[in-house]
Amino acid sequence: MMIEKKYTLKFSGSNLHESVSYVLVSKFNIIPNVLRAKIDGSGGRMILSMKGSEKDITDAIAHLTSVGIEVETMDNYVKRDENRCIDCGSCLSLCPTFAFELNTETYDIMLDTKKCVACGFCLSACPTHAITLKMTL
């Protein structure tokens, strides 16, 4: 069964030679999608979506880790303090991945954390500082 998951990859200068997308496709049968990246000669970070079987993704992560790339799952990368959220909707239109959605019955603003790509736009838009990110690129 194919699954799709998002990860953050942290590179140091010494492992920048590794062409991640090429390796994932050719060695692990993964369909990669680079969602965001900020990398220079000394290293950097990438947010990468991987589509493939659970085993292939597990093997691919083991390989990336073995060459010194730090891989972390993006689950729960963005967090919202529900006690602070006033459902104002300011975050809704700013999110490039449509992670926020209006519940048309309750008028609550729902957040699907799995859609987040850590851009940080919603942080500055939120009047009550209800949203936090583990890290921005």
Could you list the residues that contact ligand SF4 (CB under 6 A)? 78, 80, 85-91, 94-97, 99, 109, 116-122, 125-126, 128, 130-131, 133
Nearer to ligand SF4, 61 or 109 (CB): 109
3-state secondary structure 86-104: CCCCCCCCCCCCCCEEECC
User: Minimum Å distance from CB 47 to ligand SF4?
Assistant: 10
Nearer to ligand SF4, 55 or 134 (CB): 134
- B/e letters for 83-112, b = 16+ CB within 10 Å, e = fewer, are eebeeeebbbeebeeebbeeeeeeeebebe
Nearer to ligand SF4, 33 or 128 (CB): 128
Nearer to ligand SF4, 54 or 112 (CB): 112
User: Minimum Å distance from CB 1 to ligand SF4?
Assistant: 26
C-alpha closest to that of 130 among 82, 77, 75: 82
State which H helix or E strand residue 20 sits in.
Answer: helix 20-28
User: Minimum Å distance from CB 72 to ligand SF4?
Assistant: 15
Taking the C-alpha atoms of residue 11 and residue 105, their distance in angstroms, rounded to an integer, is 44
User: Minimum Å distance from CB 36 to ligand SF4?
Assistant: 9
